[in-house]
Chain A
C-alpha cells in the first residue's frame, strides 16, 4: 500500500513534519517494499491554499493513507472526499511511523486536528 507522510527530510530516517499543508517534504512510501519517493512540497510557501494543494498532490499520487502531525480543515475535506484515511498526532522518524501504521498502532482521525492557517510561519512555530 502506498502512503504519504509529511517529512522534514528526503529519506525514512527523517522526522515526521508536524504540519501537513506546509511541511517541507512528502515521502510516498510503499509499505510492502519500503521503497520511498521524496517530493518537495510545492505548497510550503503558497500564499494561500497550501492544504488543498498538498492534498491534491497526495490524491494524484494515488495514496490510500496520509500520516502526519496535524491536518487542517481544507486538506481534511479534500482527503476525506477522496476516501484517503488520515493518521495525525504522529511524531518520530518516518520509518517508525510506517512501522506503527503497519502494526495497526495508529488510529485514523475523523476530524481536522488544527484550525486553518495553523501551519503558517515558515517553520518558526512548531
Chain B
C-alpha cells in the first residue's frame, strides 16, 4: 500500500502527518519526496548508510560535426538549445534529459553527458526504511530525483510518501502512482483555497483521497463546510495544541509529544485501508 501525504498549501502539516503515520505503523518505508526542502529527517533522525548521485543526460555538441541545421533546437520543447549561424548553444539547466536531440541529429553531432542535479540518501530510523531525495540548490527539476526515489519502493512495506507542497510537476510525480492521498490542510480561508486546487488535481489524476485538518480550532469552519458539500471524507482533525508546535520546533514528532495520538494515526491508516478496499470492490 502506497500512501501519499500532500497539500495544496505549504506549512499545513504534511511532514507532521507523514512522520507520525510512519511512527504509528509497523513495517514502513518512508520517502521524503519534498526534494527542494526535505525535512522528514529532522523528526525521524535516520542513520544514513547509502548515498547516490542523481544525474540526467544533457547534450554536448561536437562543433566539428554540427552543420547548424537546427533540427535539435526545433525539437526541444524546453528551448534548451539555440542554433546561431556558426555556433550551437546549450543551456543545460533547461534540459529535461529526454535525449530527443541526440536521437534526431542527422550529423550525429550530439552526445549525452551526465549532469548531477541532486542525490538520494537511504538509511534506517528504527524499523523504518528511510529514503530522501535532495535537489541541488538552484536546480529547477525535482521529478528525476523523485522518480529515482520511487524506483526504490519496497512493495512489501507500507510506503509513505511525503510530497512537496502545491500542485505542480513534483507533486504529480509523487502522487500519481500511489494508492491513496491524504490532503493535509488548515481550517482557514488560505487552507481552503489551496485545498480546492489539490482536490481538483486528485480528481484529474484519479487518485483516491481524503482530508486531514491540522491545527483544528485556529480558524473557521470553511474547510469542514467545503468537504461536506463536496462529499469529501475528513479522516482526522488534529487539534491545535501548543505542545505539538513546541515539539515541532525541537524536531520532535507529534506522536512523541502526545503519545495518545499514536492510536489516532493507526485509526487513520485503518480508515484508509477500508476506503481503498471499498474502491477496489467498486472497480471489480
A interface with B by C-beta (< 8 Å): 43, 46-50, 52-53, 55-56, 59, 74, 77-78, 81-82
Partner of A49, one of B84, B87, B94: B94
Residue contact A52 to B94, C-beta cutoff 8 Å: yes
Question: Chain B 82-100, CB within 8 Å of chain A: the 1/0 string?
Answer: 1111010101001000000
In the complex, residue of chain B having the shortest beta-carbon distance to the beta carbon of A21: B79
Residue contact A50 to B84, C-beta cutoff 8 Å: no
Interface: B226 (CB within 8 A): no
Kindly provide the distance from the CB of A81 to the nearest chain B CB, expressed in whole angstroms.
6
Given contacts A48-B94, A56-B73, A56-B83, contact A81 B78 (CB under 8 A): no
Which residues of B have CB within 8 Å of A77? 89, 91
Partner of B79, one of A46, A81, A82: A46
Which residues of A have CB within 8 Å of B78? 47-49
B interface with A by C-beta (< 8 Å): 73, 77-80, 82-85, 87, 89, 91, 94, 140
Which residues of A have CB within 8 Å of B80? 49, 52
Q: Measured between alpha carbons, how far is A106 from B150 in the docked complex, in Å?
A: 54
In the complex, residue of chain B having the shortest beta-carbon distance to the beta carbon of A82: B84
Partner of A52, one of B79, B85, B140: B79
In the complex, residue of chain A having the shortest beta-carbon distance to the beta carbon of B73: A56
Kindly provide the distance from the CB of A62 to the nearest chain B CB, expressed in whole angstroms.
9
Q: Measured between alpha carbons, how far is A56 from B85 in the docked complex, in Å?
A: 11
Which residues of A have CB within 8 Å of B84? 59, 78, 81-82
9 shortest interchain CB distances as A-B pairs: A49-B79, A53-B79, A52-B79, A82-B84, A78-B82, A56-B82, A52-B82, A49-B94, A49-B78
Q: Measured between alpha carbons, how far is A74 from B81 in the docked complex, in Å?
A: 11
Residue contact A81 to B87, C-beta cutoff 8 Å: yes
Partner of A48, one of B79, B85, B87, B89: B79
Q: Measured between alpha carbons, how far is A95 from B83 in the docked complex, in Å?
A: 30
Which residues of A have CB within 8 Å of B83? 56
Kindly provide the distance from the CB of B61 to the nearest chain A CB, expressed in whole angstroms.
13
A and B contact pairs by CB, cutoff 8 A, 21 listed: A46-B79, A47-B77, A48-B78, A48-B79, A49-B79, A49-B80, A52-B79, A52-B82, A52-B89, A53-B79, A56-B79, A56-B82, A59-B82, A59-B84, A59-B85, A77-B89, A77-B91, A78-B82, A81-B87, A82-B84, A82-B87
